[in-house]
Amino acid sequence: MLNLIKGAIIGIALVIPGLSGSIFAVVVGLYDRLLAAVNHFRDDPRRHARFLAPVGLGAVVGILLSTKAVLVLTARWPLASYGFFIGLVLGIGPYVWRKIRQVPFRPAYLALPVIGFGAIYGLAKLGGTDPENLIALTQLSSLGDGATMVFAGAFSVALMAIPGISGSIMLMVIDQYGTVYNAVSQLGTAARALLAGDMAGLQHALGAVALLLPFMLGAAVGLLLIAKLMEWLLARYEAQVYYAVIGIVLAAVVILVETGLLPYWPATVLAPAALVLLSVIVGVAATLFLDKPSD
């Protein structure tokens, strides 16, 4: 039961842009065990399955309970919402600082944040800067749509396995955040249509839900590819990994400003600036309160 609750906390974190599900896995004491269970599943399938099943189920429950609310908030109150998300990202700073202090500083390490920033921001520019509540795909209607979702799953899940990296932000980078979470929200719509006997509504909802199948396939591939690499890197070069995370976090902040604040910024500056600043402070405080890792 406890692992189910912990999984639900991780699932909610996966939905909120800027919040890292992997950080929350560290917070609740599951990150190392999750990596080990994925990497060594074949060594003892029954034992690892007993551990992974409640965590995975809890994550699904957390995602389903929070998805619709997050989409509504970003659509109706973008300045406050994205200010809060920026604060969540910036609040990871003390955690990253503790990690990079594990090794003596070397000037060569300064290249790592630059590489991290360039990689993520470059991908964001390739993806465009449309508002992130945009639903790029509403139905699975072609092989191209399927390939897009496979890539989205592999890309976001592979990077979110790095503590501090938000899978939601990675979906925003490739303009698929709205697509994925709209598809998740359509699960409820499909259930209601089925109970009401609305076959046309059910068919339409299932067309969106179908986008999750190639996404989950890509997610599984991304997780399998990155889990062993992360286990190896964090065992040997943890501090260096977090130097690169600095650049990724800064890129995430810039992306959130460009996609969530600037498109909605009104002509009058003072009131929205105060609102955004307050939201950022609340977001930083939330991360500092919730994301205290147990080293």
pLDDT for 178-225, tens place per residue?
Answer: 888 888 888 888 888 888 888 888 888 888 889 999 999 998 888 888
157 close to 219: Cβ distance less than 8 angstroms: yes
CB contact burial 110-140 (16+ within 10 A = b; e otherwise): eebbeebbebbbebbeebeeebbbebbbbbb
Question: What mean pLDDT do residues 238-246 have?
Answer: 88
Classify 105 as helix, strand or coil.
coil
Tell me how far apart the alpha carbons of residues 65 and 53 are, in angstroms, rounded to a whole number. Answer: 18
List the domain boundaries for the chain: 65-290
Q: What is the pLDDT of residue 293?
A: 47
| Higher pLDDT, residue 13 or 147 | 147
Q: What is the pLDDT of residue 278?
A: 93
Q: What is the pLDDT of residue 267?
A: 63
pLDDT band (50, 70, 90) for residue 268: low
Q: What is the pLDDT of residue 165?
A: 73
pTM above 0.85, yes or no: no
- Phi then psi for residue 130, to 5 deg, are -70, 155
Q: What is the pLDDT of residue 265?
A: 84
Q: What is the pLDDT of residue 160?
A: 78
Q: What is the pLDDT of residue 76?
A: 85
Share of the chain above pLDDT 90, in %: 11
pLDDT band (50, 70, 90) for residue 281: very high
Q: What is the pLDDT of residue 5?
A: 83
Q: Name the maximum alpha-carbon separation found in the chain.
A: 65
Q: What is the pLDDT of residue 24?
A: 72
| Higher pLDDT, residue 26 or 61 | 61
What are the C-alpha distances in Å from 280 to residues 112, 153, 216? 26, 29, 32
pLDDT band (50, 70, 90) for residue 18: low
Model pLDDT for residues 82-134, shown as the tens digit of each residue: 898 888 788 878 888 888 998 899 999 999 999 989 887 876 676 554 544 56
pLDDT band (50, 70, 90) for residue 245: confident
Share of the chain above pLDDT 70, in %: 88
| Average pLDDT in the chain | 82
Q: What is the pLDDT of residue 134?
A: 65
Q: What is the pLDDT of residue 295?
A: 42
Q: What is the pLDDT of residue 109?
A: 94
